[in-house]
Structure 1
Amino acid sequence: MDGMRSAGCGVRPRSRVRMAGVAMTIACALIVAACGSEDSTPDVPTVTPASAVAAPPAGTPPVGTVVTAAQGKAIAATSGRFYVLSDDGTTVLRFDRTGITGPGTPGARITTPALTSLIATADGSLIGAGPDVVVRIGADNKVSPTTQTGVTDPTVVARTADGRVLVGTVSGSVVVFGKDLSRERTISGFVRVDGLTVSPAGVGLDNEQVVVLDRAQSSVTPINIDDGSKGAALRAGNGATTSTVDSYGRVLVANTRDGEILGFFGKPIVNRFRYPVSGSPYAVAWDQKRHLMWVSATAVNQLIGFDLADGEPAERHRVATVVQPDSLAVDDSTGALYVLSARGGGVQIIDPTTTLPSSGTP
């Protein structure tokens, strides 16, 4: 894919007079400097940020188990449990997978500051980010003392293997916090930050590759959180919405507006595949147990599983979901797959032992 280019710097024909060429050179230099300044709004081509396509009413019963008591706007899973962040962000509901007895099974309530994003970590804890706060929630449900961050408009949160916490913002920055949650640096220059992926270790990339998804540019951009530098940005179609990373370090992106999934990999990062997906792809998740990429198709209330073993997606499963399947989570410790409805349909649980229909027979 073509890298994103600074706007405003054209090339003048050689026939132009020397003074005009000098003036244009100076003007271009000033524009590039302004575009690259971390303190200014980037002067780059933008698109209207894409979002999930509205789903039709529920039709085919969802595969697996549905917990209707699990309502909220974000989901995370780890160590045999799944967590749902309430719509107002002030409560996290914890559900033990083995304790689910029916649709109305209640979750344990964990009170938090208002949060906008929630992720699970491999050690069984959670990290949440909200306006001016970052919190840790232990496996024992205890909420750590709130850390004041000064970040008023957080969108997403991520964690590196060495324990650093990354917070993306509506205003287009990534704020890097140390293991002790002390603020290390701010990496600016995006229109907005809607996704952050961190590659696993040992996949042929230097250290961990952090990639920013910007819906307003429909782009992916690698960043260096150690020195604050940014790599070349690549377009991700005309309406990228969500991203995840697989166990091989590939960044998987849903291009909702164009109806496709894209894969990026490498240093420098390059586009490795783009594959059409019917039904309006939105949420994406990597399933380590099944070695599948899962993609929700909100326009048809379906979940599609793709095998990436040959480098190109190959559809293996297509199953019915809860209505408006906007959020996915996979518990890597158990292989359980969770689908959160954005319209009050609860959480759908698909265990690794669940027999999934082959593609074409939802």
Structure 2
Amino acid sequence: MPLRAHRRTAVAAAVLCLVVGLAGCASTTGQLEDYTGIEQGNASPASAPSTADPEGGEVVPAPGSVSALVAVGDRVLAQVDGPPALEIARVEGTRWIPEATVELPADAGTATAALDGTVLVPYGDGVVVVSPDGDSREIAGLGPVTAAAVTTDGRLLTGAPGGEVVVRDSDGAEQHRVRGLTSVDRISVARDGSVTAFSRPDTVIASIDLDESGAGPLLRAGRGAGMLGEYGDVTIVASDTVGDTLLVYSTSPIRLHQQFPVAAAPWAVAGDPTRDVVWVTSTGTNTIQAYDLGDGTGVRRAEIATVRQPDSLVVTESGTVVVGSADGAGLHLVRPELPEPSS
């Protein structure tokens, strides 16, 4: 879904757009820090207030803390640590109906959804590929993987600890490397095939051309970006956890269109096509907010109290908002009705 209007652009971030050259150039961090003279990046979820009072819906227990949530249709896969696993459930309204559990390696990274409907979990020697009904397989022998995605033509993309995006065939055989980032903490593939990579240490978002040797163009993403989420076909949103803002980008190439303030310490973000809004968690207030991006400035449509330490968030196909607690408080399932925006 394209953005309907772009009346405000964060000029400061656009000015920082840099094209990363061939391998051997100065690191991305060095280039950006020399340019700005300000140390930024390395965002992490802020510690939440000790009390929380979830509003509406249902709160269901989860084994341990929830580190990630992925929705495939009306199924939700919750990544938990007690022990490491994906808990798969069908969501009906605010009911959580368990269906399967998939064990994960102890060093599993963050689970993400692929365009082909599978869920990818990077780990210390490859990627675990999980289907929504609980079947799983490992693509092993790849070395440490920090992030994973699947292209529109079925190729596997993996992040390497040295900041490289590795292009592989569907079985994991390496074809090509794109260098130039400090870290690869998330790889996003839009429905038009454009690829974006996120480096959290230096808070950088970069376009990735799979035929090139270097990443770029790239943008500084606020003062300390935390998480990325997809919104429509060619738009991604990022939480600026340090700067307390939400960033809205188009892809192909990466371009900032909106930046506006949100509640304290935003972290998880998720698009909601059923309501045409973006949801954001605030670990600083134990709340979630819904923002309408249509007028180019970002209008808050709702704020809902949720579980403590809401580090993960997802919206199902039918519109249930699911929030995961990284503090052992379980899952909060809500079906909010948003008021119509004032004219």
Percent identity, aligned pairs only, is 30
Letter in 1 for 2:101: R
Q: Is the Cα–Cα contact under 8 Å of residues 250 and 264 in structure 1 kept in the other structure?
A: yes
2:60 aligned residue:
67
Cα distance in 1 for partners of 2:310, 2:319 equals 19
Could you say what secondary structure the match of 2:239 adopts? Answer: strand
Find the residue that maps to 2:172 and give its secondary structure: coil
Question: 1:42 offset after TM fit, Å?
Answer: 6.6
**Between Structure 1 and Structure 2, whose CA radius of gyration is higher?**
1
The residue number in structure 1 matching 2:126 is 133
AA partner of residue 173 (structure 1): E
Tell me which amino acid in the other structure corresponds to 2:125: D
Instruction: Please tell me whether the aligned partners of residues 112 and 143 of structure 1 are also in contact (alpha carbons under 8 angstroms).
Output: no
Q: What is the TM-score normalised by the length of structure 1? A: 0.78
For residue 327 of structure 1, report the CA deviation from its aligned partner.
Answer: 0.9
Q: Which residue of 2 aligns with 1:28?
A: none
Opposite residue 331 of structure 2, the aligned amino acid is V
Q: Quick one: distance in 2 between partners of 1:336 and 1:226?
A: 39
Question: Counterparts of 2:294 and 2:41 in 1: how far apart (Å)?
Answer: 34
Q: Distance in 2 between matches of 1:163 and 1:169?
A: 19
Inter-partner Cα distance in structure 2 for 1:136 and 1:235: 31
Alpha-carbon shift at residue 283 of structure 1 (Å): 1.1
Partner of 1:318: 303
Corresponding residue for 1:355?
337
Q: CA deviation at 1:124?
A: 4.6
State how far apart, in whole Å, the 2-side matches of 1:95 and 1:283 are: 20
Question: Root-mean-square deviation (CA), in Å?
Answer: 2.9
- Flag structure 2 segments of 5+ consecutive residues without an equivalent: 1-13, 34-38
Most deviating of 310-319 and 66-75 = 66-75
Paired amino acid for 2:89: F
**How far 1:328 moved relative to its partner?**
1.2
**Pair 1:49 & 2:38 matched:** no
SS state at 1:73 partner:
strand
Residue of structure 2 equivalent to 1:148: 140
**Quick one: which of 1, 15, 18 aligns to 1:2?**
15
Asked if the contact 1:264/1:272 (under 8 Å) is kept, the reply is: yes
What's the CA shift for 1:219?
1.6
SS at match of 2:111: strand
SS of the counterpart of 2:234? coil
Alignment of 1:268-347 (within 5 A): 268-331=253-316, 333-347=317-331
Equivalents in 2 of 1:290, 1:99: separation in Å? 15
Q: 1:315 to 1:302 in 2, by over 3 A?
A: same
CA distance in 2, matches of 1:6, 1:125: 32
Q: 1:170 to 1:328 in 2, by over 3 A?
A: farther
Secondary structure in 2 aligned to 1:117?
Answer: coil
User: Which of 166, 184, 189 is the aligned partner of 2:175?
Assistant: 184
Deviation at 1:108, TM superposition (A): 2.8
Specify the code of the residue in structure 2 equivalent to 1:246: Y
Q: Which has the higher contact order (CA 8 A, sep 6+)?
A: 2
